Amino acid sequence: MADAVPIDPTATTQEERTMAVLAHVLQLIGGWVAPLVIFLIKRESRFVSFHALQVLFLHLALVVAGAVVVVAGFIGILFAVAFHAGKNTAPLGIFILFPMFWLGLIVIWVTMVLVAVLYGIKAGRGEWAEYPVFGGLARRVLKIGPGGALLQL
Protein backbone atom coordinates (compact mmCIF):
# COMPACT_ATOMS: atom_id res chain seq x y z
CA MET A 1 0.00 0.00 0.00
CA ALA A 2 2.95 2.33 0.40
CA ASP A 3 3.29 2.76 -3.36
CA ALA A 4 -0.39 3.55 -3.96
CA VAL A 5 -1.00 6.58 -6.14
CA PRO A 6 -3.07 9.24 -4.38
CA ILE A 7 -6.38 10.05 -6.03
CA ASP A 8 -6.48 13.49 -7.62
CA PRO A 9 -9.79 15.08 -6.59
CA THR A 10 -9.62 17.53 -9.49
CA ALA A 11 -9.17 14.88 -12.21
CA THR A 12 -12.06 14.80 -14.64
CA THR A 13 -13.91 11.80 -16.00
CA GLN A 14 -14.87 11.34 -19.63
CA GLU A 15 -18.52 11.98 -18.72
CA GLU A 16 -17.61 15.29 -17.05
CA ARG A 17 -15.59 16.38 -20.07
CA THR A 18 -18.46 15.44 -22.39
CA MET A 19 -21.01 17.38 -20.35
CA ALA A 20 -18.71 20.43 -20.21
CA VAL A 21 -18.26 20.28 -23.99
CA LEU A 22 -22.04 20.02 -24.41
CA ALA A 23 -22.53 23.08 -22.20
CA HIS A 24 -20.28 25.07 -24.53
CA VAL A 25 -21.47 23.69 -27.87
CA LEU A 26 -25.21 23.48 -27.18
CA GLN A 27 -25.31 27.20 -26.48
CA LEU A 28 -25.17 27.63 -30.26
CA ILE A 29 -28.46 25.78 -30.65
CA GLY A 30 -30.31 26.30 -27.39
CA GLY A 31 -28.86 29.56 -26.14
CA TRP A 32 -28.69 29.71 -22.36
CA VAL A 33 -31.23 26.90 -21.77
CA ALA A 34 -28.92 23.93 -22.44
CA PRO A 35 -26.07 25.21 -20.21
CA LEU A 36 -28.60 25.95 -17.45
CA VAL A 37 -30.01 22.42 -17.62
CA ILE A 38 -26.50 20.94 -17.59
CA PHE A 39 -25.53 23.21 -14.69
CA LEU A 40 -28.55 22.10 -12.65
CA ILE A 41 -28.22 18.39 -13.50
CA LYS A 42 -24.46 18.11 -12.95
CA ARG A 43 -24.23 20.44 -9.95
CA GLU A 44 -22.14 17.92 -7.98
CA SER A 45 -19.35 18.06 -10.58
CA ARG A 46 -17.17 21.11 -10.05
CA PHE A 47 -15.72 20.78 -13.55
CA VAL A 48 -19.08 20.67 -15.33
CA SER A 49 -20.69 23.35 -13.18
CA PHE A 50 -17.64 25.62 -13.68
CA HIS A 51 -17.85 25.39 -17.48
CA ALA A 52 -21.66 25.64 -17.59
CA LEU A 53 -21.68 28.66 -15.28
CA GLN A 54 -19.15 30.46 -17.48
CA VAL A 55 -21.44 29.89 -20.46
CA LEU A 56 -24.39 31.26 -18.50
CA PHE A 57 -22.43 34.38 -17.54
CA LEU A 58 -21.35 34.81 -21.18
CA HIS A 59 -24.96 34.61 -22.34
CA LEU A 60 -26.03 37.14 -19.76
CA ALA A 61 -23.38 39.53 -21.10
CA LEU A 62 -24.37 38.80 -24.71
CA VAL A 63 -28.02 39.50 -23.93
CA VAL A 64 -27.05 42.84 -22.42
CA ALA A 65 -24.78 43.66 -25.39
CA GLY A 66 -27.49 42.61 -27.85
CA ALA A 67 -30.05 44.78 -26.06
CA VAL A 68 -27.68 47.76 -26.22
CA VAL A 69 -27.14 47.22 -29.96
CA VAL A 70 -30.89 46.91 -30.62
CA VAL A 71 -31.80 49.97 -28.55
CA ALA A 72 -28.98 52.06 -30.05
CA GLY A 73 -29.97 51.01 -33.57
CA PHE A 74 -33.64 51.74 -32.94
CA ILE A 75 -32.90 55.16 -31.46
CA GLY A 76 -30.50 55.96 -34.29
CA ILE A 77 -33.07 55.08 -36.93
CA LEU A 78 -35.75 57.11 -35.12
CA PHE A 79 -33.44 60.14 -35.04
CA ALA A 80 -32.57 59.68 -38.71
CA VAL A 81 -36.25 59.62 -39.62
CA ALA A 82 -37.14 62.52 -37.30
CA PHE A 83 -34.41 64.81 -38.67
CA HIS A 84 -35.42 63.94 -42.23
CA ALA A 85 -39.16 64.58 -41.72
CA GLY A 86 -40.95 66.45 -44.45
CA LYS A 87 -38.56 65.49 -47.24
CA ASN A 88 -39.59 63.22 -50.11
CA THR A 89 -36.46 61.04 -50.05
CA ALA A 90 -35.40 58.29 -47.71
CA PRO A 91 -33.08 59.42 -44.90
CA LEU A 92 -29.44 58.62 -45.58
CA GLY A 93 -28.94 57.81 -41.89
CA ILE A 94 -31.05 54.66 -42.20
CA PHE A 95 -28.80 53.34 -44.95
CA ILE A 96 -25.83 53.84 -42.66
CA LEU A 97 -27.34 52.80 -39.32
CA PHE A 98 -29.21 49.69 -40.46
CA PRO A 99 -26.05 47.87 -41.67
CA MET A 100 -24.22 49.00 -38.52
CA PHE A 101 -27.05 47.50 -36.45
CA TRP A 102 -26.76 44.15 -38.22
CA LEU A 103 -22.97 44.27 -38.05
CA GLY A 104 -23.21 44.65 -34.27
CA LEU A 105 -25.48 41.62 -34.01
CA ILE A 106 -23.21 39.59 -36.28
CA VAL A 107 -20.16 40.46 -34.15
CA ILE A 108 -22.03 39.24 -31.07
CA TRP A 109 -22.97 35.98 -32.81
CA VAL A 110 -19.43 35.36 -34.18
CA THR A 111 -18.02 35.97 -30.69
CA MET A 112 -20.38 33.38 -29.26
CA VAL A 113 -19.44 30.80 -31.93
CA LEU A 114 -15.69 31.32 -31.46
CA VAL A 115 -15.91 31.09 -27.68
CA ALA A 116 -18.11 27.99 -27.87
CA VAL A 117 -15.72 26.16 -30.17
CA LEU A 118 -12.50 27.23 -28.45
CA TYR A 119 -13.63 26.51 -24.90
CA GLY A 120 -15.51 23.38 -25.97
CA ILE A 121 -12.24 21.95 -27.26
CA LYS A 122 -10.46 22.91 -24.03
CA ALA A 123 -13.23 21.35 -21.92
CA GLY A 124 -12.96 18.17 -24.00
CA ARG A 125 -9.28 17.99 -23.06
CA GLY A 126 -10.17 18.29 -19.40
CA GLU A 127 -8.72 21.79 -19.01
CA TRP A 128 -10.07 24.23 -16.43
CA ALA A 129 -9.99 26.98 -19.07
CA GLU A 130 -11.35 30.33 -17.89
CA TYR A 131 -13.21 32.89 -19.93
CA PRO A 132 -11.33 36.19 -19.62
CA VAL A 133 -13.81 37.93 -17.30
CA PHE A 134 -16.34 35.30 -16.38
CA GLY A 135 -13.93 32.55 -15.33
CA GLY A 136 -12.90 34.35 -12.15
CA LEU A 137 -16.52 35.19 -11.41
CA ALA A 138 -17.54 31.55 -11.86
CA ARG A 139 -14.72 30.45 -9.53
CA ARG A 140 -15.89 32.87 -6.83
CA VAL A 141 -19.52 31.78 -7.15
CA LEU A 142 -18.60 28.09 -6.98
CA LYS A 143 -15.90 28.71 -4.34
CA ILE A 144 -13.20 26.82 -6.24
CA GLY A 145 -9.59 27.70 -6.89
CA PRO A 146 -7.34 27.08 -9.88
CA GLY A 147 -7.59 23.53 -11.14
CA GLY A 148 -10.90 23.03 -9.38
CA ALA A 149 -9.54 22.69 -5.88
CA LEU A 150 -11.95 23.74 -3.13
CA LEU A 151 -11.05 27.02 -1.50
CA GLN A 152 -10.17 26.89 2.15
CA LEU A 153 -12.48 29.33 3.92
**What pLDDT digit, counting tens, does each position of 2-13 carry?**
444 444 545 788
**Position 68 in a domain:** yes
Contacts of 126 (CB under 8 A, 6+ apart): 11, 12, 17, 47
Q: What are the backbone dihedrals phi and psi of residue 16, each rounded to the nearest 5 degrees, phi first?
A: -65, -45
pLDDT of residue 19: 94
Average the pLDDT over 116-139 and give the result: 90
53 in any annotated domain: yes
d(CA 79, CA 109): 26
Question: How confident is residue 101, by pLDDT bands cut at 50, 70 and 90?
Answer: confident
Residue 17 is predicted with a pLDDT of: 93
3-class state of residue 150 by DSSP: strand
Indicate whether 153 belongs to any domain. no
Q: Which residue has the higher pLDDT, 85 or 39?
A: 39
Does any domain span residue 152?
Answer: no
The type of residue at 20 is A
- At 71 the three-state DSSP class reads helix
Looking at the domain assignment, is residue 127 inside a domain?
A: yes
d(CA 10, CA 16): 11
Mean model confidence pLDDT for the chain: 83
In-domain check, residue 7: no
Residue 82 forms part of a structural domain: yes
In a domain, 9, yes or no: no
Q: Give residue 22's domain range.
A: 14-147
Q: What average pLDDT score do residues 11-33 get?
A: 90
State how many domains the chain has: 1
Over residues 41-96, the pLDDT tens digits come to 998 889 999 999 999 998 898 888 878 878 887 887 787 777 776 776 666 667 77
Residue 33 pLDDT class (50, 70, 90 cuts): very high
